Chain A
Amino acid sequence: MVDSSTRQKLFGTPETNFLNCSKGWKSWAFTLDHKRIGIMYLIGVTVALFLAGVFALVLRSHLFTFDSTMLSDDMYNQMFTLHGAVMVFSFIIPSIPAALGNIVLPMMLGAKDVAFPRMNLASFYLWIIGTGCLLLAILSGKGLDTGWTFYTPYSIDTNTGVIYATFGAFILGFSSIFTGLNFLVTVNTMRSKDQGWFKLPLFVWSLYATAIIQVLATPVLGITLLMLIAEKTLHIGIFDPKYGGDPVLFQHFFWFYSHPAVYIMILPAMGVISELISVYSQKRIFGYSFIAFSSVAIALLGFLVWGHHMFTSGQSLVVTLIFSAITFTVAIPSAVKVFNWLATLYKGSILLNTPMCYALSFIFLFGIGGLTGLFLGALSTDIHLHDTYFVVAHFHFVMVGGTLTALLGGVFHWWPKIWGRMYNDFLGRVGCFLVFSGFNLTFFPQFVMGSRGMPRRYASYDPEFQIFHQLSTVGAFVLGIGILLSFVVLVYAALRGPRCSSNPFRAASLEWQSSSPPDFHNFLQTPVLTDPYDFESQVYDEELDTYIPREFANPDKVAPRKEPVHH
């Protein structure tokens, strides 16, 4: 039995924690602590999100009327390019793994840090340098107008800052590789004693699958962008048709990375959702191994479908058919996850707080985003829908409706753990409602106008599409307000929110066995290895007003374990 003062020490509000154990800007700038690096990453990606979000709002404002003169055509091209490039390379890809994953992953393994803390910090600084290079394209006054895909031969001919931007993306690629490599090694070598692969939280599985993609796909982007830079400066003639090069080769190389990159964006989000759904249903996750292996399946299948971005680029029909078929198979592991989440909800005791609201939004929005992907994977419909707003709506449903929603849900879920303070749940839910409704208002009309033939990336359009664009623009601002509100709620909570206990949600994964905020070394004692989805392992402690592992509780006051009920 553990006496109450020990319990207080282990799970109570600690005097020293990773936030206040050292002070001064240097203690942050040169920190090797994964939690601090994660927080710096979180701040960084938030800045990128707001920046790229402003580009999006400018775009949407321009598109409010069909004959708008707010932006010149060139400026319009630059706006959508910068929106896409910053969102993809600087925001979404690092968002969940590098920010949330960094904070949570080692703690979920009961480790003191990631395997290579210095590499972790280097990853963050590479992120800063890479994002800086991307922004240099704007600051140099040249802008960037190729679209985030840098397709040749236009990217070779244009005089805008393609070299800055591609170099930035190259550096950001290494930042991503460092994170992925670190996570792979950490999961392999730093797990708690006796923590087998099937005792890992599903968030760890999804980060592991993501890391596989980061390590295997990103180097190909790196060499491709280097060759593009060489092509632009030396005219080596590998991509430039003017010198006998093959511009479609660039597309193959680019999508060999960038399609798996789509799964770098969505897989960690799926991992977050698996955690949230289970914790806030207080029910063992349904089909653990199916969810775990579906992450790996998605990661591997993701390497075999890049050609579906090039159905209209002049591939042979056989290749196109094969890519289309494999694309459909990706739907299977994705659907496996969705069914398992829904089955977890069934007869669970659901707590509809902010993170759960985001998780439920995710399932709905990801469902739409995923199903519309099938329209685009089918050859006949894709010819019609290719390069229309339908595509734009589809990937925003997955990227924003999926990843951003999961990021917000995950941030709300782990916020009390990071700061030891609770957010205002009502305002959090209002923010979630605004994000959800604003998002649908923005992108649902885009499905309609896309299927009616509205092409993407056009600065002006036929008057018949105006009503859809106007709905979309209004929605974009609602979405923006929702995100802003969530941001305010979170920042206020971190600074002034009421103190909260170490495990307010009765979660069973290991990170909740640390105090809130955690100690510099994460755990003051070796954590008790519990099944991450066995919520009966955590019991309520009155003195501390929190849930603690059964092993630490006062045996006189502990309710006996409930036998599982079979329905």
Chain B
Amino acid sequence: MAVADSHDTHDDHHDLYDHGEFIAHHFDSAEQQFDSGKLGIWLFLVTEVLFFSGLFVAYTLYRTNHPEVFEQAHVFLNKYLGGLNTIVLLFSSLTMALGVRAAQLGRNKNCSVYILMTMVCATMFLGVKAVEYSHKWDMGILVRSAFNLTYTHPTPTTEIGKSLHISDYLVYLCIVPALLLAGFLAASVISKLINKTMLAKFMVAMAITVSGYFLGVVVGVVFMSATDAETGSSHASVIAEQPLMLMASTQDEHDEGDHDEGDHDKAAADPNHEGDHADHEEHFGAHPADGGEASFDAHHPDPSTLSRDIGIFFSIYYCMTGLHAIHIIGGIIALAWLYWRSLLGHWRTDYFGPVDYVGLYWHLVDLIWIYLFPLLYLID
């Protein structure tokens, strides 16, 4: 009865702090804390799904309105690289799940190894992504307003680019990871020198993590050249089947540089171009059953419009994959924190919540990619 024991609870105030190393003062028990965290992370995942939902809706809308654009645009995505990344992420989910299991059993050492493997997979994913991005930037496949498809690969101008035959953009994308790698290696040496072995171990793990990025880049470049014949032929077939697109691209080269003004001028001169939006609505409303080709011809007499509309596909592509990559980076930071706590041996059979929560987050990030891959790469 509350009345009866009110004296005791009052006198033993410190009892509030006395229930376990990692249980926050406002929770009554480890169980309550775990349940709260679990519900919290699930709700957070709900917000994440809804955060991506805007982009999925935009995707659905534009794909419904312009199926022809999506059919023609996706061939520029290398599905082998996409598939490779899917396998990498699926494997990372496996190691993550093993890490959670190890934490649940209180095996901190195993847990740290699994988390490190997950982090390496994550950075490897980013490395492959960097190869893909740089390849597209080379070809002028950018967001809608800057879209300027050329098919030709510019020769690299940087020294590293020239010697390794890789894109300048890829070199730029490797600068930050290279600096991070150097920084972590230096930090591990310094912490070794000042006898902070735990910290040194952590820094080495971080260096290994960042190396995963370069592994991804190397594998990506190899894959890219191995599948080049295939993707090259698919580019060629697009050009053969869609002469309009070739025209579009050559026309684009002409008015390169002043897209904005060019657009204004065209909008003024060509009534078809004015208010693309109205045009699109008409598409959707008046000819819902029309396949790609027919409506394409009827409504896009100006070939440059199609080429630019492919740009909308890539706007959506960059938004979705970019936001996903940001989530991967966020995940790596969370995983690094888990790795540190595993080194400190924090996980016990009655306390492993953080690993569980980050694990759920990681599976969601994986799951989003599982949706993105077919939606963007496997359109046929």
Contacts and interface: CB of A to CB of B under 8 A. Distances in A.
Contacts of A499: none
Contacts of A215: 43, 46-47
B254 interface: no
A114 B57 CA distance: 35
A10 interface: yes
A234 B145 contact: yes
Interface in A142-185: 177, 181-182, 184-185
Interface stretch (A218-226, A275-283, A389-397): A218-226
Contacts of B47: 177, 181, 215-216, 218-219
Contacts of A526: 2, 6, 9
Contacts, number: 156
Interface stretch (B205-213, B221-229, B242-250, B310-318): B310-318
Given A111-B26, A238-B315, A223 B52 contact: yes
Contacts of B144: 235-238, 243-245
Nearest to B6: A525
A117 interface: yes
Given A185-B40, A189-B32, A235 B143 contact: yes
A227 interface: yes
B242 to A, nearest CB: 18
Range class of the A interface residue count: 35 or more
B182 interface: no
Contacts of B40: 115-116, 181-182, 185
A227 B53 contact: no
A243 B36 contact: no
A552 interface: yes
A190 interface: yes
B280 A242 contact: no
A511 interface: no
Interface string A458-484: 000000000000000000000000000
Nearest to B59: A238
Task: Say what secondary structure dominates the interface of chain B.
Answer: helix
A525 B312 contact: no
Contacts of A238: 58, 62, 144, 312, 315-316, 319
A112 interface: yes
B3 interface: yes
Contact of B3 (A116, A235, A248, A551): A551
B2 A528 contact: yes
Task: Say what secondary structure dominates the interface of chain A.
Answer: helix
A527 B1 CA distance: 11
A237 B312 contact: yes
Most-contacted residue by chain A among B10, B51, B309 (CB, 10 A): B51
Interface string B255-290: 000000001100100000001110010000000000
Contacts of A551: 2-3
A115 B24 CA distance: 10
A188 B39 contact: yes
Interface string A307-322: 0000000000000000
A6 B146 contact: no
Contact of B277 (A113, A219, A236, A245): A245
Contact of B312 (A113, A189, A190, A245): A245
Interface in B68-106: none
B231 to A, nearest CB: 25
Interface in B295-348: 305, 308-309, 311-312, 315-316, 318-319, 323
Contact of B51 (A219, A246, A525): A219
Interface in B3-42: 3, 6-7, 9-10, 16, 24-26, 32, 35-36, 39-40
B315 A237 contact: yes
A300 interface: no
A227 B319 contact: yes
B145 A237 contact: yes
Interface of A: 1-2, 6, 9-10, 111-117, 177, 181-182, 184-186, 188-190, 215-220, 222-224, 226-227, 230, 234-238, 241-249, 253, 521, 524-528, 551-552
Top 5 nearest A-B pairs (CB, nearest first) are A237-B144, A235-B145, A223-B54, A236-B315, A113-B26
29 contacts: A113-B25, A113-B26, A116-B36, A181-B40, A184-B43, A189-B32, A190-B36, A215-B43, A215-B47, A216-B50, A217-B50, A220-B53, A223-B323, A227-B54, A230-B143, A234-B315, A235-B146, A236-B318, A237-B144, A237-B308, A237-B312, A238-B144, A242-B264, A243-B311, A246-B61, A253-B57, A525-B9, A528-B2, A528-B3
Interface of B: 2-3, 6-7, 9-10, 16, 24-26, 32, 35-36, 39-40, 43-44, 46-48, 50-55, 57-58, 61-62, 143-146, 263-264, 267, 275-277, 280, 305, 308-309, 311-312, 315-316, 318-319, 323
Given A184-B43, A235-B143, 6 more contacts: A10-B6, A177-B47, A181-B44, A215-B46, A219-B50, A236-B312
